Every structure is written in C-alpha cells, then in structure tokens.
Structure 1
Amino acid sequence: MGVYENIKHAIITEVYPPGFRLTEEALTKDWNVSRTPIREALKKLEFDGLITPLKRGFIVRTFSKEDLQQVYDLRALLESYAAAQAAMNRTEEDILFIQDAIRAYEIAMEIKEKDMDQNQAIVEANSRFHRGVINASCNNHVRDLIDKVVVLPLMFRSFYHFDQTDIDQSFQMHKTIARAIEENDPYRAKSAMEEHILRGRDFVLQHYESDATTVSQTID
C-alpha cells in the first residue's frame, strides 16, 4: 500500500483514533518517508473527510450519532440504486467476482467462528462484495459518490460488534442481493441492498452509546 492507503488504514483501525493529532513530522517518522508524500496523503484524507486541519497539523475527525444516521441513509440510497443498475448491466465477469467475494466471506466466517478476535478477513470480504456490486452497476458517478460516504460505516467497524448470528444474517443478505443481480431483477436487488444497509445502520446506532469513542468516520 502507498502512504495514503497506510495512513487511511491506520485511521480506520484506530491506530490513529478519533481526536488524534497528526503532524507531517510525526508521520514521516511513522512511515519512514519524506514530507512530500505525507502532504499529498493528508490532502486526500482531508478531502475524504477523515481529518480536519488545525493551526499546525491535522486531527482525526469524530462524528456524532446524527452524522452516522445521515451517512448510512445516504449510503442506503446510493448502494440500493447501484444494486438495481448492477442487475441490469452486470456481465458474467461481474457475477464471478461477486460470487468469489461471497465465497471469501464464507471462509472468513469460519475463521471468525474459531476466533472472534479475527475480523479483518470479514471486513475485507464484505468490502470486496460491495465493491463488486458497485462496479457491476457500470456507473462511475455513483461509484465516486459512494467512495465519498462509505468510509464512515467502515471506520465504525460494525463487524467488531457482530456475533456469529449477525455475521450469518449479513452473509445471507449478500446471497440474496447476488441472486437478484444474477437474475436481472433490479427491483429485488434494490430492495435487498437497501434493507441490508439499513440493518447495518440500526446495528451501529444501537451500539453508538456504548462505543462512542470508535465513532470516527464502511461496510457494513
């Protein structure tokens, strides 16, 4: 990964938690690079809404419960539309990609069932599934908009609160969405994706009060 991706991942995984101050000097030491790529990364992260500027340096942004609600609602709107578009525009290659993501999720479920501390494989498989659906929509404008808002749910790390039943329900929703896309059923694909995202929203909001320190700008 590049410097931008590394710092972004560090924010998502709370190596740099909400309210953490970031400076060029400290980041050059953390990542053993010059200030130029650090400056470029910070500009992108500010554009993403992950950090906000200070007089000197930046601070990792925090978000309110209302922020979470609004972003999840927007994500539900965008991704459900993308799922409907995917059902109409998908190729066989898209179907294979989505099915591979579902298989990766199933394998990740088995890993997490043995060790509940293992979340990364679940997060990655989930992200891959949603990316596959978005790509299958063949709509670059929707993709760009989703890229702007999807970070918040991912950073809240809802999977870190999921028990095995929650994970299985998410998996079943993935299969329902994939089936609708494969069968060229835009209405069912849209409805299933909307339900899937809003379930994630409700789960995150339910846990907000008990885990407020992790509300820093995903997937569900």
Structure 2
Amino acid sequence: MRDDAYTLILAAIEAGTYRPGDRLVESELAERFGVSRTPVREALQRLETQQMLVRDGRSLIVASLDHNQLAELYVVRAELEALAGRLAARHATPEEVRVLAQMVADDQKSLNDPETLARTNRRFHRQIHLASHNRYLVQQLDLVHRSMALMARTSLAAEGRSVTALSEHKRIVDAIAAGDGNAADAELRQHISKGWETRLKLEAQADHG
C-alpha cells in the first residue's frame, strides 16, 4: 500500500494533475486514490525527502525548480542520456530497436497534442535507458526524470518543437539501430540541448508576457 500510494501520487505529479505550487492534502489524496491515510502520509514523507514536495507552513506543496536548478538538471541529463544512447547502441536487442522505431512512428499521430507527446516522450527515453542494459544508469536517470516532473509545462508545447523533437528521436533510433555509439551519444546531446534551448525561450516569453 505504501508503494502504491507513492506511485499514484508521483504519477499524478508527472501527469500534471498536481503542478508546482499545488498543495497536497492527506485526506483528499486518500479519498482520490482509494487508500487509507497512513500510506498516503508515508508517501508524502518520502516525496518530501526526495525534494519533490516542500513545506509551506504546515502544508506540503509540489516543489518548483528555479532557473539554476533547471540548468544543473539539464547538464546532468545530457551526460546521462548520452551515455544511455552510447550503451544502447552497443547492447540493444533487435526487439528493443523495433519498439523504439514504432514509438517514433506512433508519435506522428500526436503532433498536435503536446500533453500526450510529453507522456510518450518519457516512455521513449525510458526505453532507451532500459536498452542500455545498465541498471545503475537506469536508476540515476529515474532520479533525473522524476525531478523533471517538477517543470510546470512541457517544452513540446512550443510552436514547432514537436515536429523537430520527433525528427531528433528518429535520428537517435537510427544511430542505435546502426550500432553507432558515437552518433547516438551526439544525437542525444543535441536533442537535450534543443529541449533546454526551447525551455529557455518559453521562460523568456513568460517573463515578458
């Protein structure tokens, strides 16, 4: 039950049901997810320890990331994702490569739906992590992607970003399929860099909006 409550609350944050600054109330969460308050309380404590939640007086709210935290997160993400791509090019099975290619093809149907693309984007990157066949790298990338759930909106919502992101995904898959670790590394670094650049533009627009 503890793990269920934790997973449900974390998934709700990742899905944007609860956004940075939103207050999480133990009784409301218990009712929403159909679990007792004790596992919810323990899940909230765990999320606070992981800095997904912060104190606001006596309440817990979903944490937010400032500009410097975002910049630091993208630096780490670029390094780890590039390593995952390099290892996936070496270790991915033919079945894993086909799954990645199918994900890219399926995402073409969601080009005008940034929220759906954000979910499938997480699944795509997770599949690359698993294809690296390195459990310790997967664990570290899980931490990074959990923190990324604290971003208020997806960069895929920016005009034109969904189309370019999918073309970048295709190049990543092509490099992994070819067993070219250097190319997979470079394509993932470029992909993460473009995502960060897009987010910076969104931030600038919001500041002047």
Task: Give per-residue Cα distances to partners, 1:54-110, cap 9 Å, x unaligned.
Answer: 66342211211111111011100100011000001111121122112112211222x
Number of residue pairs matched by the alignment: 204
Residue equivalent to 2:85: 83
For normalisation by structure 1, the TM-score amounts to 0.82
Mind listing any 5+ residue stretches in structure 1 that lack a counterpart?
Answer: 113-117, 213-220
| Residue of 69, 83, 90 corresponding to 2:71 | 69
Task: Give per-residue Cα distances to partners, 1:25-64, cap 9 Å, x unaligned.
Answer: 3322333321122123223423443112466342211211
Question: Does 200-209 or 63-72 show the bigger shift?
Answer: 200-209
Contact 1:68-1:152 within 8 A present in 2 as well? no
Residue equivalent to 2:158: 162
Contact 2:86-2:180 within 8 A present in 1 as well? yes
1:175 positional shift: 0.7
> Is 2:147 the counterpart of 1:122?
no
**Alignment partners' CA distance in 2, 1:144 and 1:166:** 28
Residue equivalent to 2:189: 194
Contact 2:156-2:162 within 8 A present in 1 as well? no
Residue equivalent to 1:218: none
1:202 positional shift: 1.2
> Is 2:202 the counterpart of 1:207?
yes
Contact 2:114-2:162 within 8 A present in 1 as well? no
For normalisation by structure 2, the TM-score amounts to 0.86
Contact 1:52-1:58 within 8 A present in 2 as well? yes
Q: Note closer, same or farther for the CA distance 1:13–1:125 as it changes in structure 2 (3 Å cut).
A: closer
The Cα RMSD (Å) is: 2.3
1:162 positional shift: 2.1
Q: Aligned AA for 2:158? A: F
| Residue of 29, 35, 41 corresponding to 2:31 | 29
Q: Aligned AA for 1:79? A: E
Residue equivalent to 2:170: 175
Question: Does 46-55 or 177-186 show the bigger shift?
Answer: 46-55
Q: Aligned AA for 2:193? A: L
1:121 positional shift: 2.2
Mind listing any 5+ residue stretches in structure 2 that lack a counterpart?
Answer: none
**Alignment partners' CA distance in 1, 2:164 and 2:62:** 32
Residue equivalent to 1:143: 138
Q: Note closer, same or farther for the CA distance 1:45–1:104 as it changes in structure 2 (3 Å cut).
A: farther
Task: Give per-residue Cα distances to partners, 1:117-172, cap 9 Å, x unaligned.
Answer: x3332122211211111111001111111111123434423245322x21111011
Q: Note closer, same or farther for the CA distance 1:186–1:119 as it changes in structure 2 (3 Å cut).
A: same
**Alignment partners' CA distance in 2, 1:191 and 1:9:** 30
**Alignment partners' CA distance in 1, 2:108 and 2:118:** 12
1:15 positional shift: 3.5
